[in-house]
Amino acid sequence: MNITFGRFSDAFKPKAQINLWNDCEKLYNEKKYFESYKLFFDYLKNSDSENVFYSIDNGFFKFQLIQGSKEIRGYFDGVKISAISVIAGFDNPNVAVFRRLMEMNYSLYYCRFAVKDNKIVIKFDSNVIDCSPNKFYYGLRELAVRADRQDDTLISEFKTLREVESKSFPFSNKQLDTMKKYYRKWINDGLEKVSGLNKEQFSGGISYIYLNILYRIDYLLTPQGILLNDIQRMSWTYFNDKESPLLQKLDSLGEDLRKIKDYDDQKLERNFYIVISTFGTTPPAGKQSVDDSINNNIQNIKWYIDNNNPDIALNILEYIAGYCLFSYGLYKSLYKILGLIIEIINHDYVSDIGIDNNLVLNGVVNKDYVVNKLTEYIKLDKDEYPELKMDFDKIMFDSILNFTKTTLEEISKLNYKN
């Protein structure tokens, strides 16, 4: 499979899929359940990956879908609908594991963890009269997302568990070596930069440097498992810890970065693999969320440029793009444009991993090539948003810093109105 950057998002599905959903609900209300569920799974299908499969034979509806490293299997027999995903296997029962499963059941709304044939599973069951498309969607989503997240988490915590029925795809050894190299390089470079700064004077800049490392790793390496949990925990703690002083939070963030930098090769490699997904995990967000992120941060680069710290200024600009991609489910065009910014800033990695070596030539952004990319991305949403356009004459291509700043400014002018 080809390498792609960023995490899957199912936000802002095209109008044709929205129509499928509307028809699905209509058929369900007419009690045409088989026809309704068929359209339900058509709605879940991705246009660019094989994530959903189903068959209907003699009044029996069987379905499969993929979420990350897990497969979800289920059926509908005209009366009952059921789905299950196998999370992990074990040879001998473990009281601590079972206690953890019982605790986690209290956090579930639609599903439950269970044990079957020396395997830990997560299940969803419902009678058809209680399983509207809306309930079915959120039930399957809960099951799929939890299954994908808990397999790595439980296996890393309980050594008696083992991986079973994984649906992930491996990177090549060369690709893994490149990913590990840049993973450690980005963290090392950030920590080294911070070590030479006055923490009180540059506390804002240090925040941007540390957080940008997390979001860069998330977008360009898309780690799974415990490393994804680490990144999400570190980001969440920084923004939600209202009690600790900023300098204390920065010390904690720096210490956490050192810990994940020191993961050995084997531990790192377990978090890097290719997946197919059916459900996105970031909430849909309109254009205003991105505009707010740009407007609230972009003016902060001036002080660093004036004080001869353009690298911190670039970290701030990259942070804006990375934070939006990490936090929000976005319009496809907006997602791709923000991703392109990160790829241009990190063009050395993009080239070394074997995706694109035309983004930057001799330190200058490749104008013709990049404009073609931006034009291609704008077209992704042009049919639904006819006023969507970008003024390329306002974008500067003479340096990566100027390109990033002026592109973010043009992003804030994009019109996503029907």
Burial of residue 94, with CB atoms counted within 10 A of its CB: 0-12 exposed, 13-18 middle, 19 or more buried: middle
**Which has more pLDDT, 3 or 323?**
323
Average pLDDT over residues 233-260: 97
> What's the pLDDT at 312?
98
pLDDT in tens, 57-66: 988 999 999 9
pLDDT over 70 (residue 84): yes
Average pLDDT over residues 371-387: 96
> What's the pLDDT at 406?
98
To 10 degrees, what angle do helices 203-221 and 225-240 make?
Answer: 150
Average pLDDT over residues 188-203: 96
pLDDT in tens, 392-405: 999 999 999 999 99
Pairing mode, strands 80-90 and 70-76: antiparallel
* Mean pLDDT (the chain, rounded): 95
Confidence of residue 1 (pLDDT cuts 50, 70, 90): low
Average pLDDT over residues 190-198: 96
SS3 61: strand
Average pLDDT over residues 349-356: 94
pLDDT over 90 (residue 271): yes
List Cα–Cα distances, 407 to 43, 239, 335, 336, 356, in angstroms.
34, 26, 13, 13, 20
Which secondary-structure segment (H or E) carries 54?
A: strand 52-57
Torsion of CA 278, 280, 281, 285, to 10 degrees: -160
pLDDT over 90 (residue 356): no
Tokens of 165: 């029925």
Strand partners, 74: 63, 83
> What's the pLDDT at 418?
79
Percent of the chain with pLDDT over 90: 91
> What's the pLDDT at 2?
73
SS3 375: helix
> What's the pLDDT at 309?
96
> In which region does residue 227 sit, left (phi positive, over 0), alpha (psi from -120 to 50) or beta (all else)?
alpha
pLDDT in tens, 287-308: 999 999 999 999 999 999 999 9
pLDDT in tens, 149-188: 988 889 988 999 999 888 889 999 999 999 999 999 999 9
pLDDT over 90 (residue 363): no
Tokens of 124: 């969803």
Average pLDDT over residues 9-13: 91
pLDDT in tens, 126-154: 999 999 999 999 999 999 999 999 888 89
pLDDT over 80 (residue 70): yes
